[in-house]
Structures are given as C-alpha cells and as structure tokens.
Amino acid sequence: MFTKNFTRRTFLQTAIAGALALRSGSAFAKTALAEKGSLSLFNTHTQERLAVTFRKADGTYDIDALNAINWIMRCHFTNQQTVMDVKTIEYLNLVDNRLGGGNEIHIISGYRSPSYNSLLSSKGGHVAKHSLHLVGKAIDISIPGTDLHTVRSTAVSLRLGGVGYYPGAGFVHIDSGNFRTWS
C-alpha cells in the first residue's frame, strides 16, 4: 500500500496535528467527525492512487494513513511534502460524504513548495504569494462524474473554509482558512 519512509519529525507533526484536531471542541471538528473517515484519492500529476481510512471508528487518527495522505498530496514539482492540516483532510472527507461518499477525488494540487509557487507566479499563474497550499491547508480537486458546480455548492454549504471555483481550469479549491468564496 504505502512504502515511503518518514522522518521522526514528520511522524510527530502528524500525530500532534491529529490529536489537536480531535481534541478541538469546534463546530468543525464535531461536524467532520460525524462522518466516515476515509478517502479515495488520485493525484493527477503523479498518477498515484490511494484508498485510505485515516480516522478509525473510535475517532482516533491512523498516523500511517495521514502520512500516506501527506505523500500523495506532496508537491509534484519538487517531490517535497508537508504535514497536511487535518482540518483540510476532514473538510475534503465531509465534501465527499455529502456527495454520496466513496468518490475518487482527483487531486490537482495539494501541498505546493515555495519554489513551485514562485515558478507558477513568474509564469503568470494566478497563485497567491501566501497561498494556503504552501502550508498544507489547501487542496484543488475535481470529482469525475460530479459537476464542478455541485462540488463547489456542496463545499460552500458546509461553510468550513475557503472555496474557490475555477470551472475553466477544471477544479474547485477548498481550504481550512476562514470561510470565504471566490471565482
């Protein structure tokens, strides 16, 4: 399933992030934890697939599964990874569940390294200088067989973070920042 080796630091960061998200008394944590904690992901750049249960039935996070998500969400340009924000992963899971669950979610962009973000910016790409992709708090997605407008409206209805709509580019952006929308 997953063979990438992780440093002790990556393991500890992921474990702490998961524990903090679980302990959170926020409406986000309560809403997200009410749903099944599994995802089916396809990275459109690396052609890698991952089907994983990242949150166990008892509500605890599976560190190996979170690390596998970190890897598939890595910057495809530099192969660098980060610890993805558990709230972002939970948000993605909740969108999937609201759309029936078990969808293969296509990852257009997860973590974006600073060097790749700069390259995109220098080539005229519409990327934010301080993008939440740079800190593992944003994901650009599409779900084959589900209209982008439906993905967008589902994410917006949750009001759990930012939602950007890019129908021309073929994706919806979700992040665990403050609730806001843009096109």
Domain ranges of the chain: 8-182
Tokens 């089916």, residue located: 40
CB count in 10 Å sphere of residue 18? 21
DSSP assignment of 60-93: -B-HHHHHHHHHHTS-TTT-------HHHHHHHH
Q: Would the pLDDT of 91 be above 90?
A: yes
Q: Would the pLDDT of 21 be above 60?
A: no
Using 50, 70 and 90 to split pLDDT, how confident is the model at 144? Answer: very high
pLDDT at 2 (0 to 100):
39
> Residue 96, SS3?
helix
CB count in 10 Å sphere of residue 101? 13
Give the pairing type, strands 38-43 and 49-53: antiparallel
Tell me phi and psi for residue 100, to 5 degrees: 105, -15
Tell me phi and psi for residue 78, to 5 degrees: -110, -10
The arithmetic mean of pLDDT across residues 72-95, rounded, is 97
Global pTM value: 0.83
Find out if CATH 3.40.30.10 is the number for domain 8-182.
Answer: no
CB count in 10 Å sphere of residue 177? 16
